[in-house]
Chains A and B, each alone.
Chain A
């Protein structure tokens, strides 16, 4: 299986809703946090020992639960490293901790793009590959600052009662179908206030072949073309979603008929009884990873824990809890997951060719302009 075309750079996957930590009076909080954290840092600097629990931060909803069940609980037990699990992972919060010199997080889950952007800003520790063994990893699923944790896809999902089971005749199968409100009348949901994975579908729906998408998007005209296409759909977009948990909820409650979102969330919603199906066709292939904020309070212990969770025996269990693929090749060899489950992972060789791998380069160069244009659309 090859994901070598797979680039890094997806800034920011905001899985959590309530990230309200910055409002008009943000700096008051920053100062407060600085003060508190400063005191905490001084305190822990004097008493810290290897026995201190490390703080591991992930996202809410079924994603965090899946990581607990497959990775964190067992790794903690086997390594004897106690962990303090928090929710609300965000690279901007991690950077804030680093810049205010008040780091409380040790390991943070992030989208590949956000991780790369945070690394570029100097917010992350270099991963010690003497400790973390990535010899069996796919080469593009780790960087100097991030260790891949799972592979996922941004897909289109729909209410199967309304549009039929995936793969059956007449069911939606492309972004063009997502946009086609005559053939598939009903309501849509789309990404809110964040540009990741939001422009590519629009261009594919507008007839740009997948391999040309990033080339077109690299120009302002290309971005405006994508925005125009989304504007065309906007009257039918009844909800803009802000988190993975919300994607699942929207489908569970049948609030909308079709949405974009992350494949694992929909599989879990389906397990909960939602009438939802999706296709990997024209989906965006991406991965999540672990990063360590610069100046993490328990750097050495956290690095050991990172080495532990990156072992194939834990990753092999992940598909049982969420349909995201392992980043460690060996996990595929030792997993006891049934064939059907393996084949449903976005990283399965059968699925990868259907998808467009997300481009690191595009987001590194175009993120600012893209988000400004996207916010114009949002605020209309």
Chain B
């Protein structure tokens, strides 16, 4: 009965997710001449850039996730401890970036961070440093820009998880003899973990496909998979080669999530039991 009712949505999911994925997979095995071929994968072994680009992509994604956690956790904690109506207002400021175009935000960072940007000019004016510091067109700038864009994706689920922790939990911990610091680390933090893991996964996976921000703020030095895919398409119109890159990224991501899932017991954290 229920399965019958779910059929339209299952078909929709197949249509919008499985079919394109299948097509991507198929295309990756099509050579330049339109025949079945492994050439798209062979070139990935032949040239060192592909492996490096995957490493950079995962490195950037992991670092962005870490930066988001470092900034987002205290922020979400602060919001979760506010009365609901104040929290709503502050949440708005966190969410504001959602309503601004990605390109605009990225260029705004460029204006702020570049050699003669606002930050360097200001710091030099008040004597913090004498020559401009290179804050953009490198990894630093990329991480700043990406963390800014990704922050809401971490803060939202984390804030939700923290709000669900009843105040009685902390009272109970205190009552049983836990100092506030202990109560936080032994009770609040573990109970907020599902939200943090969910948020981190969203951030991590979204980062893997990033193009604009590393392209603009990385100054060409942070070459991610999406950049490589674009380079192949723009230079060679080679859908097959681009598809192969996408397939490998997808598989690598699944492997990493699987391993992370084993280590973190993700199904407990995400689908349990809190």
Contacts and interface: CB of A to CB of B under 8 A. Distances in A.
Nearest to B117: A253
A23 to B, nearest CB: 5
B235 A378 contact: no
Interface in A25-61: 25-28, 30-31
A255 B230 contact: no
B231 A375 contact: yes
Contacts, number: 140
Contacts of A20: 211-212, 226, 230
Interface string B97-134: 00000010000000000111100000000000000001
Nearest to B111: A253
Contacts of B209: 23-25
A242 B103 CA distance: 14
Interface stretch (B79-87, B143-151, B214-222): B214-222
Interface in A1-37: 11-12, 14, 17-20, 22-28, 30-31
A90 B231 CA distance: 12
A25 B49 contact: no
B220 A22 contact: no
B257 to A, nearest CB: 14
Interface stretch (B15-23, B66-74, B170-178): B15-23
A176 interface: no
B228 interface: yes
A95 B209 CA distance: 23
Contacts of B220: 190, 192-193, 239-242, 378
Given A194-B235, A371-B231, A17 B216 contact: yes
B103 A194 contact: no
Contact of B226 (A23, A27, A123, A371): A23
Interface stretch (B183-191, B242-250, B262-270): B242-250
Given A26-B24, A27-B24, A371 B235 contact: yes
A339 interface: no
A255 B116 contact: yes
Interface in B180-218: 208-209, 211-212, 215-216
B43 interface: yes
A92 interface: yes
A195 B235 contact: yes
Nearest to B242: A22
A17 B101 CA distance: 15
Given A20-B230, A24-B250, A379-B49, 18 more contacts: A11-B235, A11-B236, A24-B208, A25-B20, A26-B242, A92-B234, A192-B220, A193-B220, A193-B223, A194-B235, A238-B134, A242-B215, A255-B115, A255-B137, A367-B235, A371-B231, A373-B47, A379-B52
Interface of B: 16-17, 19-21, 23-24, 27, 43, 46-49, 52-53, 56, 103, 114-117, 134, 137, 208-209, 211-212, 215-216, 219-221, 223, 225-237, 239, 242-243, 246, 249-250
The 9 closest A-B pairs by CB, nearest first: A240-B220, A192-B220, A27-B20, A379-B52, A193-B231, A239-B219, A375-B49, A376-B49, A379-B49
